[in-house]
Amino acid sequence: MSAAFTTSATNVFGIGCYTTVLRKVDSVSTSSVPVPPPKPLLVATPREAGEFPLLIFLHGYLLYNSFYSQLLRHVASHGFIVIAPQLYTVAGPDATDEIKSTAAITNWLSKGLLQGLLPQDVRPNLSKLALAGHSRGGKVAFALALQKAMTTLKFSALIGVDPVDGMDKGKQTPPPVLTYVPHSFDLDMAVMVIGSGLGEVRRNPLFPPCAPKGVNHEDFFKECRKPACHLVAKDHGHLDMLDDETGGLRGRSSYCLCKNGEAREPMRRFVGGAIVAFMEAYLNGDKTELIAIKHGHETAPLELQTIEFLV
């Protein structure tokens, strides 16, 4: 299944100039590729011919990759190929299998098998590869970047979208990623950490916060070394970068489990634009948009409560 849309925008926080195609790929044999991917994929890509950098994006805990369709297309519209695997449908607290699965997908990409799933004359540039994840997917992304599983391709950029390492400090889920030692992450790549101002706030007394203090974006950024940046959206929640409409029981629950902002679009546009600016800087060598965000010259769709850069 595939879908396409097109529009244009003036900055990274709007939809870019490329028409995008969104395709679902099952982890079973197809005529398109001789060896199927290890996990089902959602692939967002430009339709126009060209060679484009690649982003692997990992979904949050018990969420579907399809819930990020609008975000993935936003990024793709700026000239990137985005691969979003469905790592599981049911999972316990241990993320080890997700780390191994992401490594297996990365190794699958190294064999050139993605080409058969892309529009004609669209080519992935595997030398420009970034890794991102939301919530528990952010934890998995950091774990893989820290070589808790080995890959045959090298990542050049790492992005944590409101990453979470467990329920609380001392209650990390296995394998733990945070060490609580400042600048301890030995990462040979640039890092961006995006946080939500409402992620650490309880929606009601019955539920814990979705991104608790002690295991959230603040703690991940404290362990990063330069180059790294930390952007926190004020008055927006842990799930506000999802699609405007997420169906099914899991989709409906995404509206009531976490403290949310008034609307999802501003946070989704911000996350998409920040990812684009960061990848332009560290995959394509153009830091113009990222510097504009740093100095407030790029008009963001929401208010930022934190802008930190380690350079």
Active site members: 135, 162, 238
Walk across the sheet containing 2-5 and list its strands: 2-5, 20-25, 41-46, 81-85, 50-58, 122-134, 157-161, 190-196, 228-233, 304-310
End-to-end CA distance of the chain: 43
Amino acid identity of residue 190, one-letter, is A
Q: Give per-residue burial for 185-220: e unless 16+ CB within 10 Å, then b.
A: bebebbbbbbbbbbbbbebeeeeebbbbebbbbbbb
Neighbouring CB atoms inside 10 A of 57's CB total 25
- Closest to 23 (Cα-Cα) out of 62, 64, 90, 81: 81
